[in-house]
Structure 1
Amino acid sequence: MTRNHTGHRIGECHQRAKLSSAQVAAMRADHAAGLSYRRLALKYHCGISTARDICTYRTRWAG
């Protein structure tokens, strides 16, 4: 189980995580290949802002 410096679960180990670490890595690779945030959101069944936040490392830094 992955935990941060305060002992809280992070990444795919968090009980509310919707995407696995593999999906996060694949999403970032797809974005680097040119897919828009909208297409990523449709492909990974998440919101556009979630796709943007993941690709810009605003969330899931370790993922």
Structure 2
Amino acid sequence: MRRAAARDRGQAGGGGAAPPWLRDSVRAHLAACAMASADVAEAAAWLRRYAAVTLPGGRSARR
């Protein structure tokens, strides 16, 4: 956790700081991944509800 905090402050070791455009790009990529993860979770919940009302006996296919 300490390493991540240092990285976020731009104090990470390892041979120099990354250029600002690279840090911005990585930050944007991580935000997009988080958004995609939330979208997938929402879709999975929707499909579970759909399966519960459409499968015979009102059961989910997930066991």
TM-score (norm 2): 0.28
The structure with the larger Rg is 2
TM-score (norm 1): 0.28
Looking at secondary structure, tell me which structure has more helix per residue. 2
| Higher relative contact order, chain-length normalized (CA < 8 Å, sep 6+) | 1
